[in-house]
Amino acid sequence: MPALVALGDSPLAGRSWSAGRLASSLTRDPLFAAAACTLLLVALAALFAPWLAPFDPDRPIDMAARAQPPSAQHWFGTDTLNRDLLSRILFGARISLAVSLLSVAVAMLMGTAWGAIAGYAGGWIDALLMRVVDAGLAIPRILLLLSIVSLWGTLTMPAIIVVLGFTGWFGASRLVRDGVRASKERDYAVAARASGATPFRVLVRHVLPHALTPMLVAATLGVGHVVVIEAGLSFLGYGVAPPAATWGTLIRDGRENVATAWWLSVFPGLALAITVLAINVLGDRLRTALGGRQLPAP
């Protein structure tokens, strides 16, 4: 009996793809390589912003001059308070990326828990939980976020992370729920149940690992989505509180000076667009690489 359980215990048992094969199929793809390199550069730029930034992002260079166009000294120009835009974008990357990654982590945890319970319990619990998901998906996310901001007032960074996470788990929970339903009656799960494992253990050790493969894609694309949503919230003036600049707040600054200083909206927007494009390519390629090799429905 223990031997039987041990076989089913390995999270890789039953998966027909391996990390190595996934990696080798992806590295042959030049577009994937370009996207991965871009993201690596963006991540490194965010991580080492204090060492890479040529100027202090928050200190005006020279009070007299303001909003200088790009030059050899200030590659991306300066803003209306004459702060170096390149430095501000580098520091903005830290907040934008940190908020996005953490909120997607929150969303994935919530979505996994919710979807796992719905899929494993089945019956009316499943129906009830999934109708809540339908309702959550029916409210456009930016409007849900705006109504939360209108009720809660200005949000601190941890609050933004939680709120973005809590409004972003609906789709993921449906994926997990479908995955759990597909694998809970398969032989390894039945065997585990027969050998006396508790429902919680069966779910977490035997069923859930098989349901999480599509989450890899969902999480990747989710980061791309939330980077834009967070920037959009800041763009509307309801994002992370002012002293900290995210890419969204920088674009908002640019909007106010759109007629006089094009660089203020173009460069932060480019940083945002390039990052999102790279994430989308990555997610898309991951999906193709994993596609068809996910667990088939029983």
Partner 1 sequence: MASIVLKRVAQGLLIVWLTTTITFFLIHAAPGEPFASLLEDPRLTDEMRAATRARYGLDRPVTEQYVRYLRAVSTGDFGDSFIHHRPVVAILGDAVPRTMLLMATALVIGFAAGIALGALQGARAGSWFDRLTGSTAVLLAALPDFWLALLVVMLFAGTWLPVSGFSTPTLPASAPMMTRTLDVLRHLILPAGTLALLIAAMVSRFQRAALIDILPSAWLRTARAKGVATRSVVFRHALRNAFLPIITLGGLAVPALLGGAVFVEATFNWQGMGSLAVQAVGDHDYPVVLAVVLLSSAFVVLGAALADVAQAAADPRQRRA
Contact call for residue 114 and partner 1 (CB under 8 A) = no
DSSP structural state of residue 168: S
> Nearer Cβ to partner 1, position 203 or 261?
261
Q: Is 276 in the site for partner 1 (CB under 8 A)?
A: yes
Instruction: Identify which of residues 31 and 109 has a Cβ nearer to partner 1 in the complex.
Output: 31
Q: Which residues neighbour 16 within 8 Å (Cβ) at sequence distance 6 or greater?
A: 293
Question: For residue 239, what are the contacts with CB-CB under 8 A and spacing of at least 6?
Answer: 155, 160, 230, 231, 233, 246, 248, 249
Beta-bridge partner residues of 84: 78
Site for partner 1 in 189-228 (CB under 8 A): 224, 228
Say whether residue 137 binds partner 1 (CB under 8 A): yes
Is the Cβ of residue 9 or residue 29 nearer to partner 1 in the bound state? 29
Q: Assess 48 for contact with partner 1 (CB under 8 A).
A: no
Residue 72: exposure state from Cβ atoms within 10 A (0-12, 13-18, ≥19): exposed
- Residue 146 touches partner 1, criterion: CB under 8 A: yes
Report d(CA 76, CA 53) in Å as an integer.
12
Write the interaction track for partner 1 spanning residues 148-187; mark x where CB under 8 A is met and - where it is not: xxxxxx----------------------------------
Is residue 135 part of the contact set for partner 1 (CB under 8 A)?
Answer: yes
Q: Where are the beta strands (DSSP E) in 64-136?
A: none
Residue 258 in the binding site for partner 1 (CB under 8 A):
yes
40 and 48 Cβ atoms separated by less than 8 Å: no
Residue 72 binds partner 1, judged by CB under 8 A: no
Should residue 124 be labelled a site residue for partner 1 when binding is judged by CB under 8 A? no
Least distance from partner 1 to the Cβ atom of residue 220, Å: 13
Question: Distance between CA atoms of 214 and 14, rounded to whole angstroms?
Answer: 15
